Amino acid sequence: MVIVTQKACQITLLSLCYLIMARFVDQARIYVKAGDGGSGCVSFRREKYVPRGGPDGGDGGDGGDVVLLTDPQVHTLYDFYHQVHFYAENGKHGMGKKMKGKDGEDLILRVPVGTLVRDAETGEILGDLTKPGQTLVVARGGKGGRGNAHFATPTRQAPKFAEKGTPGEERWLILELKLIADVGLVGFPNAGKSTLLSRITSAKPKIADYPFTTLEPNLGVVSLSEGETFIVADIPGLIEGAHKGLGLGHEFLRHIERTRIILYILDITRGEDISKDIESLQRELYLYNPKLLEKDFLIALNKIDTIKTEERKAKLERLKALFKGEHANKIFAISAVTGEGIKDLLNALANQVNKIRQSEVLT
């Protein structure tokens, strides 16, 4: 008979959480070093029957660059979790007979689309890689030195020196991944975000009847009958004080910054607290980044299958009273379990996404 203590269960669960989170790494600090340029060669012609052979030292090759390349097949920065130092190839030294040294190979580092690159020391943004196949040179290779053949003059016919290659650039970088999605699902733990994502897309997030089952963002594609598609991101549940680093949500708040629309998921069974939930969620977003409240949004009251119709109507009216004008029409009652009300919600999201996309094209 095996007896498992509560402490052992907690340790096992914690270890499992670490393993799950390790799959999704959205920040990395790495060191990159471009290749050094090869040195020029000091050489003189030594050929039979050729008197007074002159200098014929070749140039050194250039060092390789370190280049970041966005790859749609790469979804996290996990490759930079264990390996931190990256070096491009040095240029080869010049040789006799004016032979140039071989240039060093560029080092290509593949990163996810949506990677923000900063200089770790200055904080300067070096690039924001938001398109597939986009490249960014983060460290340039050194130049190869000139061979002694370049320094021959009428008064200095046998130079016995050449240039050394210049060193390649080196720096520490901060890579920060911000998922690019049309719609970001935001809500408190256990509000039903993952259940909704699994119903409207083919994504398979972890779903359970306890909080914090989502330990990493999940992406899914919604395909409507009219052929319209948009991408939805499920962000781990927020708690009070998330902007200060409390809970799991703070680690992923940055991903909301990329979304076009925020869909707040509220648990309709929370009674009088439901109107306070939307205020708390918006306050956390505002304290993290005030611009987040400038984004378009919709509100989904989830779990309507668990309450009576009269109670549902009362809560809808109470929540609509918090919003004025057009915002009052942004509230939808749904059940992620039964599918009730989801079609209307998806149509509204699709309309909003299309409007934003069109405005982006015009600007």
| 205 and 146 co-located in one domain | no
Q: Identify residue 292 by its one-letter amino acid code.
A: L
Confidence bin at 247 (pLDDT 50/70/90): very low
| 102 and 250 co-located in one domain | no
Lowest mean pLDDT among 20-24, 111-115, 202-206, 303-307: 20-24
Q: CB 268: neighbour CB atoms within 10 A?
A: 24
Confidence bin at 204 (pLDDT 50/70/90): low
3-state secondary structure of 340: coil
Please give the pLDDT value at position 127: 94
| 166 and 190 co-located in one domain | no
Confidence bin at 177 (pLDDT 50/70/90): confident
Please give the pLDDT value at position 64: 97
| 222 and 352 co-located in one domain | yes
| 80 and 145 co-located in one domain | yes
Domain around 143: 24-177
For 116, how many CA atoms within 13 A lie in the half-sphere containing its CB? Answer: 16
- What mean pLDDT do residues 131-160 have? 92
* Ramachandran angles phi, psi of 247, nearest 5°: 75, -175
End-of-domain residue from the set 126, 161, 177 = 177
Kindly report, residue by residue over 208-238, the tens digit of the pLDDT. Answer: 443 444 445 677 888 887 667 888 888 776 6
* pLDDT at residue 246 is higher than 90: no
Chain mean pLDDT for the chain:
81
Residue 12 domain flag: no
Kindly report, residue by residue over 126-135, the tens digit of the pLDDT. Answer: 999 988 899 9
Residue 296 domain flag: yes
End-of-domain residue from the set 153, 177, 201 = 177
Q: CB 72: neighbour CB atoms within 10 A?
A: 10
| 51 and 75 co-located in one domain | yes
| 171 and 289 co-located in one domain | no
| 161 and 220 co-located in one domain | no
Q: Cβ neighbours of residue 340 under 8 Å, at least 6 residues apart?
A: 304, 305, 333, 334
What does the block give as tokens for 266?
A: 């509220």
* Three-class DSSP labels, 152-206: CCCCCCCCCCCCCCCCCCEEEEEEEECCCCCEEEECCCCCCHHHHHHHHCCCCCC
End-of-domain residue from the set 177, 212, 245 = 177
| 165 and 202 co-located in one domain | no
Please give the pLDDT value at position 216: 58
What does the block give as tokens for 211?
A: 């909080």
CB crowding 101-119: b at 16 or more within 10 Å, else e: bbbbebbebebbbbbbbbe
| 31 and 143 co-located in one domain | yes
| 337 and 210 co-located in one domain | yes
Q: How far is CA 85 from CA 66, 129, 170, in A?
A: 12, 21, 11
Residue 352 domain flag: yes
Query: What is the spatial distance between Cα 203 and Cα 208, in angstroms, rounded to a whole number?
Result: 15
Please give the pLDDT value at position 253: 74
Please give the pLDDT value at position 273: 66
End-to-end CA distance of the chain: 69
Query: What is the spatial distance between Cα 318 and Cα 164, in angstroms, rounded to a whole number?
Result: 76
Q: Residue 220 belongs to what H/E stretch?
A: strand 218-223
Residue 5 domain flag: no
Residue 2 domain flag: no
Where residue 83 sits, what CATH number does that domain have? Answer: 2.70.210.12
What is the number of domains present in the chain?
Answer: 2
Query: What is the spatial distance between Cα 125 and Cα 122, in angstroms, rounded to a whole number?
Result: 9
